[in-house]
Amino acid sequence: MAYSCMRCSAGAGAGASAVRRGAAAMRAPAALSFVRCGLRRPAAAAAAKGVKAGMDAGVENPARSAAPSKVENGLPSEITLDDFEDLNPLSENDESTVTITVVGASGDLAKKKIFPALFALYYEDCLPKHFTIFGYARSKMTDDELRNMVSRTLTCRIDKRENCNEKMEEFLKRCFYHSGQYDSEEHFRDLDKKLKQHEGSSVSNRLFYLSIPPNIFLDVVKCASVSASSVNGWTRVIVEKPFGRDSDSSAALTRGLKQYLVEDQIFRIDHYLGKELVENLSVLRFSNLVFEPLWSRQYIRNVQLIFSEDFGTEGRGGYFDRYGIIRDIMQNHLLQILALFAMETPISLEAEDIRNEKVKVLRSMKPLQLDDVVIGQYKSHTKGGTTYPGYIDDKTVPNDSLTPTFAAAALFINNARWDGVPFLMKAGKALHTKGAEIRVQFRHVPGNLYKRSFGTDLDTATNELVIRVQPDEAIYLKINNKIPGLGMRLDRSKLNLHYAARYSKEIPDAYERLLLDAIEGERRLFIRSDELDAAWELFTPLLKELEEKRIAPELYPYGSRGPVGAHYLAAKYNVRWGDLTTEHKA
Ligand code: NDP
Ligand code: BG6
């Protein structure tokens, strides 16, 4: 059976336009081989501008010593260069190559998300024909050890599960490892030599994924650009969050990155933008006449953006304590959703047009005020004989930590469309449930003829649109309906688009979409530096105030619904939080 990259039907517009634009902007005569719709065809590379620093042109001839290996017992070992060329045939002036270097390959994110996403893309025939994956980190590992590590994280989650093991083996043969320090130009030069062996004389396109702690981003970008950037194709860098801790550190990071890269080479990832239902937000709104006319203060009473996890910081306490939930979730994931939700109609679906509209929303917002924010921290709780640890029980967290693991906030957009409409955010760890959703509560029906049928609580009778981002993706609209019968009794029903029932296709992981976009040079779902600056401007004064005044978070038990203060905050704006659990599984 031939598998085909789903981009052909879904993303043709975006991907194709990226290629068109890339072709126009191309500086190097790069030709990137793409697989779309199951067909391997050359496409013009969206060649980013070359990095400022030079690189060692070094080794021209592939050395067999660094060649990949053969599959034995399910894992490749001792593959010769000839074998690799069979997998990845390259001839002089053939199509171009793409190498994805996962920097920090030994880490949690690489294992959990990046390698599995790359495999899923490979499985679906979405990766370019000549691709190679390199892991880079300080840990000592052979190629086989990397493959072994990666193989344990790969799953055949894709719906067409045929030939999965075979596909895994083929994929693993394309994975290699190079051990080195993050601040060593020499070690990156060694990496460059290995990359060249795989690239041959073709145009080489290189994507570096920085899956490392932020304090070493700049070291890596410097070394990679000086010693391992492409000389004749594009070089792109995916940067993981956090992008700084506040306006100043974020600006410093951007300045640092721009010493070595131009903006177009930087792909700041916010994986929430790659989630299926977030991607669908614009489709829902701009391609359905029934929604767009209602999308304003005239009809919308409030909007809620809710993120909830039913586990604590397990294993990531060290990182988390320096950032807290506001920086970890609100300033990026929830704010990005808000900007997409609230933006004006962009001129087109081109990345710059969308990002221009998003940044306008962010700039129209007023910075968060302390009295519009509630913070909490989870404490230990015993339930059913099991004791769940509190946040400060984590050994990597100081005993006196005031870092919030929960926050609720009210935000406002001061423009003609949204003036006065509260956008309420709530994000928390160690709560009673796991999920993420967007809730749009509509206004009351003026002069409602059926007012009496609703009793005194009219708020419960207003329409509500719920976009359940995860889990169990769904979009449903709550409406009032007559209960069948001779009397006139009303109830609330749902018009429900439940993805599992409607679509047989499995939903791709956000990292799959974003990695493919980065390879294709599609920037629509990545964060531009001015968006980032505007996002930090909203949160920095609040974060400083919380830290300077050492404001203590309200404690809430592990597994609870979070601090009661969140309800008072919502009540201040006549809002009742939607409940993730009571409506789950419509
Ligand atoms: P890890 O802490 O697992 O670090 C990744 C690798 O970086 C490690 O395997 C280690 O490799 C190296 N490393 C770790 N600490 C240091 C250090 N102090 N100095 C130098 N090298 C170090 O990170 P994650 O994989 O969890 O995350 C990677 C990036 O992605 C981070 O920026 C994180 O904030 C972000 N992120 C992570 C998410 C997750 O779920 N894990 C979710 C969203 C974003 P070695 O020792 O072999 O060199
Ligand atoms: C990351 C945060 O960005 O997103 C984590 O750093 C959080 O703290 C994660 O757990 C949630 O992502 P998802 O896709 O599992 O909802």
Which ligand has its closest atom nearest to the C-alpha of 209?
Answer: 1
CA of 242, closest atom in ligand 1:
34
On the question of pLDDT at 512 being above 50, the answer is yes
On the question of pLDDT at 97 being above 80, the answer is yes
| Partners of residue 505 on adjacent β-strands | none
Edge to edge, the sheet with strand 435-442 lists 490-498, 474-482, 464-470, 435-442, 300-308, 423-428, 406-411, 373-379, 554-557
Whole-number pLDDT of residue 154: 86
pLDDT band at 286 (very low <50, low <70, confident <90, very high): very high
What percent of the chain shows pLDDT beyond 90?
73
Residue tagged active-site, from 130, 178, 187, 333: 333
pLDDT, mean of residues 47-58: 33
CB of 321 shorter than 6 A to ligand 2: no
Minimum CA distance residue for ligand 2 atom 8: 328
User: How is residue 59 written in tokens?
Assistant: 């080794």
CA of 275, closest atom in ligand 2:
14
CA of 323, closest atom in ligand 2:
6
Which ligand has its closest atom nearest to the C-alpha of 241?
Answer: 1
Whole-number pLDDT of residue 7: 66
Q: Give the pLDDT confidence of 230-266 residue by residue, as tens digits.
A: 999 999 999 999 999 999 999 999 999 999 999 999 9
CA of 470, closest atom in ligand 2:
16
Whole-number pLDDT of residue 4: 59
Q: Give the pLDDT confidence of 424-448 residue by residue, as tens digits.
A: 999 999 999 999 999 999 999 988 8
Q: How big is the CA angle at 272 (ends 271 and 275), to the nearest 5 degrees?
A: 100
CB of 372 shorter than 6 A to ligand 2: no
CB of 328 shorter than 6 A to ligand 2: yes
| C-alpha span between 221 and 256 (Å, rounded) | 9
Whole-number pLDDT of residue 157: 64
Which ligand has its closest atom nearest to the C-alpha of 328?
Answer: 2
On the question of pLDDT at 65 being above 70, the answer is no
| C-alpha span between 278 and 12 (Å, rounded) | 18
Whole-number pLDDT of residue 31: 33
What percent of the chain shows pLDDT beyond 70?
82
Whole-number pLDDT of residue 222: 97
pLDDT, mean of residues 346-364: 97
Averaged pLDDT score across all residues of the chain: 85
pLDDT band at 160 (very low <50, low <70, confident <90, very high): low
CB of 509 shorter than 6 A to ligand 2: no
Alpha-carbon dihedral sign for residues 322, 325, 330, 333: positive
Which ligand has its closest atom nearest to the C-alpha of 313?
Answer: 2
Lowest mean pLDDT among 59-73, 410-424, 549-563: 59-73
On the question of pLDDT at 113 being above 50, the answer is yes
Of 428, 441, 429, 407, nearest in space to 539 by CA: 407
- Please list, in sequence order, all residues whose beta carbon lies within 8 angstroms of the beta carbon of residue 231, skipping any fewer than 6 positions away: 50, 55, 57, 204
Whole-number pLDDT of residue 435: 96
| Residue bearing the bigger pLDDT, 451 or 330 | 330
| Strand bridging mode 435-442 / 423-428 | unpaired
| C-alpha span between 316 and 108 (Å, rounded) | 10
pLDDT, mean of residues 262-282: 96
Selection from 116-130, 405-419, 487-501 with the highest mean pLDDT: 405-419
| C-alpha span between 38 and 27 (Å, rounded) | 28
Active-site residue, 498 included: no
Q: State the CB neighbour count (10 A cutoff) for residue 484.
A: 7
pLDDT, mean of residues 535-554: 98
Whole-number pLDDT of residue 41: 31
Q: How far is the CA of 314 from the centre of ligand 2 (A)?
A: 12
With 0-12 / 13-18 / 19 or more C-beta atoms within 10 angstroms meaning exposed / middle / buried, residue 504 is exposed
Q: 164-173 and 143-151 helices cross at what angle (nearest 10)?
A: 150
| C-alpha span between 224 and 228 (Å, rounded) | 5
**Coil, strand or helix at 81:** helix
CA of 309, closest atom in ligand 2:
10
| C-alpha span between 511 and 513 (Å, rounded) | 5
CB of 240 shorter than 6 A to ligand 2: no
| C-alpha span between 350 and 360 (Å, rounded) | 16
User: How is residue 253 written in tokens?
Assistant: 């990071």
pLDDT band at 27 (very low <50, low <70, confident <90, very high): very low
Whole-number pLDDT of residue 158: 59
Ligand 1 first shell, C-beta below 6 A: 104, 106-110, 137-139, 182, 211-214, 216, 240-242, 319
Minimum CA distance residue for ligand 1 atom 32: 213
**Coil, strand or helix at 116:** helix
Residue with tokens 């009540």: 571
| C-alpha span between 340 and 282 (Å, rounded) | 7
Whole-number pLDDT of residue 156: 73
